Chain A
C-alpha cells in the first residue's frame, strides 16, 4: 500500500504509445466483501504490444483478467476494448469483439477429443454453430484449419485423443490453441508456462514469438526469463493495486519490485535471479 505513490514512474505509457489503445482500464476495482482483489487500477495497453503483468500470489492478477474477459463484473471502474466500453458485456459478447483468453487453471473440454475441442473453438464465432442438420465433421475447411492449428503446436497426432488424457504441457498448449482459434485481436494469457518443464517452456515461448505482430498480448507470468523474452512492458500488481509499470528491464530493477517480487521468489526456491540482467 505504501508503494502506490510510484504508479507512473517512467514515460507513463508503453513505448508503442503512438498506437491506439487496444485495452483501457479506468479505475478498475473489484471487491469480494472486505477484500479488495483489484483496487483502482488504470492501465492502457496499446495495439500490438506485448504486455506483462506480474505480482506475488494473490495480488489480483487473475481477478484482473476475469474483469477484462467478463467472468467478473467490476465493483466500479470501466474496461474499454478498442475504445468501446465493454464493462457491461458478457464473456461471449467480448469474444465477439475480439478478446480471447486462457485460464490459469486449464479449462479445456476434457471429455471431448482434441479435434472436438478445436472444432468448438473454431465454430465459436461462425454462424454454423447453430447448424442442426449437418455433421460438424463435414465442414472441410474448418477441419483442415483444426488440423493445421494442432500441427503448428506439434499436436497433429493427438487430434483423436480425449483431451483429459493429454499431458500437462499439451493441455497448456491446447488451452492457448483454443483461445487462438477464435482469432482474437487481444489475447489474455494467464500463466501460460505454469507447471511446464524447461523444455516445454522454450516450446511455448517459441510459439508466442511466432504470433502475429498485430495481435495484442497481455500475459501474466512469474518467470522472469519468460517475461524478458516475451514482453516489452510490465505492470506490477500487489494487493490489488498497481505498484509500477514500465519497460521490462527497468521494472526488473525497480527497488519496490525487487523487494516484492524477488522476496516472494526467494521463498519459492530463489530460481528467479532477475537482477542479473
Chain B
C-alpha cells in the first residue's frame, strides 16, 4: 500500500506544475522530492569513493594516511550523529571511547595476546564500559547529558594518563602486531586502507538502517517531544541507553582501526579537544543525516593536516570557521547541499515549463529555500509547540517537567 503511494507521489514530484508552489500540496510534494534527493546521496557517495580509491591506488602512503584518518574519525562522528542528530543527545566523551578501543588492543597485545585476540578483548571491554557508563549517562538529558558524557570521557583520559603501569602514561603504547589473514595483513598500506573503508561502509549502512527502524523513529520522537513519547508508552530511558551504547561502541570500533593506522596511542588521543573535533565534524557536516559528518570529517582532518603546515595558529582558524559555519549554515553542509539541490531542481522544472519568467524562477527557488529550511531543520524556529488556545498555555508544559 504505502509503497505504491510513494511511487505515485514521486512520479508527480518529477513533473510538477507551477501551481504546486502554493499551499499545503506543495509541502507534501516538497517533502517527497527531498526524499528523492536523499536517495541520490548513495550513488553520489559511491562515485566519490571510487574516485578516492583510484587516487589512492596511484599515490603514496601520505595521502592514504589522511584518508584513513578521515574514515576513522568519520566513523566516530557518525555514531555521535546517530544519538545527537536523531535522539537529540550530544555526547562529548566519544574520544574517550575511541581511546578505549585503541588502548584495548595495544594493552592486550603488550600482555602477550595475538592481534585477533586483542581485538576481541578490546570489543568486550568497550561493550562493558559502554554498558556501565550508560547507566549513569542516561539518567540525565539535555545539557546535563553533554556534561556527564564529557566527564566520562575525561575519566578515561585521566586513567590513560595516571595508570602508568598499564598505559605507560604520557608516552603511550605502541602497536606490536597487526592482524592478518594469509597475505592480507593490516600492517600493509593497501589492506589496511581497504579494511578501514569496508568497516566505514558497513557502519554507515547499519546506522542508516537503524535510523529508519522503529527504534530510530523513536529516537526522533524523543528528540522532538520526549514527554509525549513517554505518554505513548515508551520508557525513554531504554531508548537513550541503547542509543548511547551504540554511539560509544561505534567510537570504540573507530579506535580499534585507529591503533592499526597510527601504530601508537597516547593520552593525547583522548583529550577534550579531540572530543571537540568530533562534535565539530558532526555539526559542520550536518546533524541528523549520518552522511553529513563524513563531509565534516574531511574538512576537519584536512584542516588538521594541511592548514597546520602553513598556519601555526590553525586551531584558531578552525574555531573561526566553526563559528561561521554554525551562524551561516545551522543545518551544516548537508543542509546547504540539499538546499542547493532544491534550487537547481526548481530551476530545471521552471525551465522545462518554459513559460516561467525569470521572476517566477526567483520566487520559486526562494520558496524552496524557505520550505527546505522549515521541514528539514530538525530544531528550527518551529521547535515550540503550536499555539494553545486554552488557559495558561505554560501550565501544561511546566507540569510535564516537574516529574522528570
A interface vs B, CB < 8 Å?
57-58, 62-63, 66, 69-73, 90-93, 95-96, 101, 103-113, 116, 119-121, 123-125, 128-137, 139-140, 143-144, 147, 160-162, 164-165, 168, 171, 178, 181-182, 190-191, 194-195
Contacts and interface: CB of A to CB of B under 8 A. Distances in A.
Contact of A137 (B2, B231, B399): B2
B228 A109 contact: yes
B382 A72 contact: no
Nearest to B382: A164
B156 to A, nearest CB: 26
Given A129-B218, A137-B2, A110 B28 contact: no
Nearest to B232: A124
A161 B388 contact: no
Contacts, number: 179
B124 to A, nearest CB: 20
Nearest to A143: B2
Contacts of B31: 113, 160-162
A111 B378 contact: yes
Nearest to B388: A105
Given A112-B217, A168-B386, A195-B390, 13 more contacts: A73-B403, A106-B388, A109-B221, A111-B379, A120-B221, A120-B232, A123-B218, A129-B218, A131-B214, A135-B213, A165-B24, A182-B232, A194-B390
Contact of B233 (A92, A119, A190, A191): A92
14 contacts: A62-B395, A72-B399, A91-B231, A91-B403, A92-B232, A107-B396, A112-B220, A113-B31, A120-B232, A132-B216, A136-B214, A136-B217, A137-B2, A160-B28
Contacts of A71: 227, 231, 399-400, 402-403
A168 B218 CA distance: 24
Nearest to A129: B214
Interface string B212-240: 11111110110111011111111110100
A195 B389 contact: yes
B232 A121 contact: yes
Contact of A116 (B217, B375, B402): B217
B209 interface: yes
Nearest to A123: B214
Given A137-B2, A140-B1, A109 B225 contact: yes
Given A137-B212, A143-B2, A106 B399 contact: no
A110 B225 contact: yes
B388 A107 contact: no
B27 interface: yes
A135 B392 contact: no
Contacts of A116: 217, 220-221
Q: Interface residues of B: mostly helix, strand, loop or mixed?
A: helix
Interface string B294-322: 00000000000000000000000000000
A165 B396 CA distance: 22
A105 B398 CA distance: 11
A139 B228 contact: no
A135 B232 contact: no
A101 B231 contact: yes
Given A133-B213, A161-B24, A182-B232, A104 B396 contact: yes
B215 A72 contact: no
Contacts of A168: 386-387, 389
A134 B213 contact: yes
Contact of A124 (B234, B387, B393): B234
B242 interface: yes
Closest 4 CB pairs of A and B: A195-B389, A124-B233, A95-B233, A124-B232
B399 A143 contact: no
A143 B6 CA distance: 13
Interface string B362-404: 0000000000000100110011011111111101110110110
B210 interface: yes
B218 A57 contact: no
Nearest to B3: A137
A107 B230 CA distance: 12
Given A113-B31, A129-B218, A195-B388, A136 B232 contact: no
A112 B221 contact: yes
A105 B224 contact: no
A102 to B, nearest CB: 9
Contact of A144 (B1, B9, B220, B229): B1
Contacts of B236: 92
A161 B403 contact: no
Contacts of B28: 160-161
A139 B213 CA distance: 10
Interface string B183-208: 00000000000000000000000100
A136 B2 CA distance: 12
A58 B230 contact: no
A131 B215 contact: yes
B135 to A, nearest CB: 17
A93 B232 CA distance: 10
Contacts of A162: 27, 31, 375
A91 B230 contact: yes
B32 interface: yes
Contacts of B235: 90, 92-93
Contact of A120 (B9, B229, B382, B383): B229
B209 A133 contact: yes
Nearest to A91: B230
A105 to B, nearest CB: 4
B379 to A, nearest CB: 8
Given A62-B399, A124-B233, A171 B386 contact: yes
Given A133-B210, A133-B213, A105 B396 contact: yes
Contacts of B391: 57-58
Contacts of A92: 230-236
A178 B393 CA distance: 20
Nearest to B375: A162
Given A107-B227, A137-B212, A182 B233 contact: yes
B215 A130 contact: yes
Nearest to A130: B215
Contacts of A123: 214, 217-218
